[in-house]
Amino acid sequence: MTLFRGTARLLVTTVLAVPLAVSGSTAEADPRPNIVMILADDLDERATPYWESMPKTKALLQDSGLTFTDSFATTPICCAARASILTGQYGHNTQVLTNEGDQGGFAAFVANNGDNESRTFVKHLHDSGYRTGMAGKYLNGLEDHPHHIPPGWDDWNAGVTKSLYTGYNYTLNENGTLVEYGSGPGDYQVDVIADKSVKFIEESAATDRPFFWYAASTAPHSPMSAPPRYAGTRFGAAPHPKNFQEQDVSDKPTWLRQSAKARSATVALTNDWDHHNRMGSLLALDDMVADIVRTLKETGEYDNTYLVFASDNGYNMGAHRLFQKMAPYEESIRVPLVIAGPGVRHGTSRAMVTSIDYAPTFLELAGLPVPADMDGASMTPLFGGGIPQGWRTDFFGQYGGSGLDGRDGIFQEYTTGDRKELYVIDLPSWSSLRTERYTYTRWYDLERAAGEREYELYDLTTDPYQLDNLLATESGRQKYAEVVARLDRRLNELSGCKGIACRKA
Ligand SMILES: [Ca+2]
Ligand SMILES: [Ca+2]
């Protein structure tokens, strides 16, 4: 199947290069802290019992660090979520809202927003003296530009073939050289990234520079399974939360009602297999975290390092009959987050934090100014365990499917291989306001005129599994008219926000 590719829209924008304060080279070591970000891919917070596969990470990070119980992806699909993580900006500002087309993928990341690559936190860290490096997944669509190395990276080891997701027979761009990996046990992707992590930390420790390392394996993204050393490990069937294969979807938007039967069949076919693979590849991710922490300790860097364990987006393990992600339901938007490091309290934080907060957090940890056009907020005021006054109590979520032939609920990708039936259906576009109490979603934002859109409202205090859309009936719409008017105003406010306006209540 030929993938749809929109005509890339080139935005001709003049970008002024504003150099940040750079300390002159001195003989003294730069005392700023190291930052290591371990980003899982498609790891959901709700259905997957990930700590069962990650006991070492639990002991090394969660048992000493701060766990954020309300951490969210603002645009819950790989490329768009990573674009927001790297820039600290919402999707309407990065203009990356999905994985394909003129508002999705690597090409859009470079073409839009006056070149997002010129404004990543990594570039700022690098330009201020940090040694920066990564291994694994950068952005979907990099496959079409395998020789590309973005500005601001000192050690670049990005996957440039889609086979990266299988764990074998992939190619990495290793600082300009395309290196092919095979199908042997030593080629398993997560382990290769673990080795790169160890090497980078050891090399960086030998310099006077602080470092940032981005360990971006695709675990537990489908279809990678456990590494050979854990091939015999068995996991139970996938958990079935209350909204698994939701029985009555008459309250759901048109696309879900219309595709419910096919989606249910796919969930029934793939869910346990997917769960088994996910839990298996997490075992390797767990080993990688242990390798990273051990190396930090061996090199004497541990006490001056912030460790961040997160995921780009969540995942539906059959919730509402859905697989994959992209949807504005809790399973897609909730992501795990644990931060450990100097001055970070052990415990849990209920502060609402999102994809756009990493960039300002890392800049602040590095003592750098946060650019005025970053939409997120530094999480450092949360590290003590409290929630400062004025911290956000809502955020804006959004998705812009690339579409095919103008139809809703289209095929976006087709995966062949040993599971020929596995396919991915794109979703229509949506905008959503997630408050502490409500999820309010406006469907078909890009496809339809205002009067023809569809709406969902869930009261999470009484319906945490989002089984009963309060706007599905006329009486419901009347009863919640005032609530909707308020949420709609706020949604409109945030849908065009930039910089500090995105953080104001
Ligand atoms: Ca992902
Ligand atoms: Ca229902």
**Range of 224's domain?**
34-394
Q: How many domains does the chain have?
A: 1
Residue 221 lies in a domain: yes
β-partners of residue 413 are 424
Residue 309 lies in a domain: yes
| Locus of tokens 């650019």 | 371
Task: Give the chain's end-to-end CA distance (angstroms, integer).
Answer: 46
Phi-psi region at 44: left, alpha or beta (left = phi > 0; alpha = psi -120 to 50): beta
Q: Which amino acid is at 192?
A: V
Query: Could you tell me the CATH number of the domain that includes residue 233?
Result: 3.40.720.10
7: DSSP letter? P
Q: What is the pLDDT of residue 403?
A: 53
- Please give the structure tokens belonging to residue 345: 């309290």
* Per-run averaged pLDDT (10 residues), the chain, 505 residues: 29 34 61 98 97 98 98 97 98 93 93 97 98 98 98 98 98 98 98 98 98 98 97 94 97 90 88 96 98 98 98 97 94 98 98 98 98 98 97 96 51 47 69 98 88 96 98 98 98 96 87
Residue 181 lies in a domain: yes
Query: Which of the ligands is closest to the CA of residue 473?
Result: 2
Strands 155-159 and 131-136: parallel
Assess whether 78 carries a catalytic annotation: yes
Alpha carbon separation from 34 to 50, 212, 309, 374 (Å, rounded): 26, 6, 14, 22
How do residues 37-96 score in pLDDT, each as one tens digit? 999 999 999 999 999 999 999 999 999 999 999 999 999 999 999 999 999 999 999 999
Residue 381 lies in a domain: yes
Residue 466 Cα to ligand 2 middle (Å): 7
Residue 333 lies in a domain: yes
How do residues 237-287 score in pLDDT, each as one tens digit? 999 999 999 999 999 998 899 888 888 888 998 999 999 999 999 999 999
Residue 412 lies in a domain: no
The C-alpha angle 395, 397, 402, rounded to 5 degrees, equals: 165
Residue 312 Cα to ligand 2 middle (Å): 27
Residue 18 lies in a domain: no
Query: Which of the ligands is closest to the CA of residue 139?
Result: 1
Residue 337 lies in a domain: yes
Residue 330 Cα to ligand 2 middle (Å): 15
Contacts of 459 (CB under 8 A, 6+ apart): 437, 438, 470
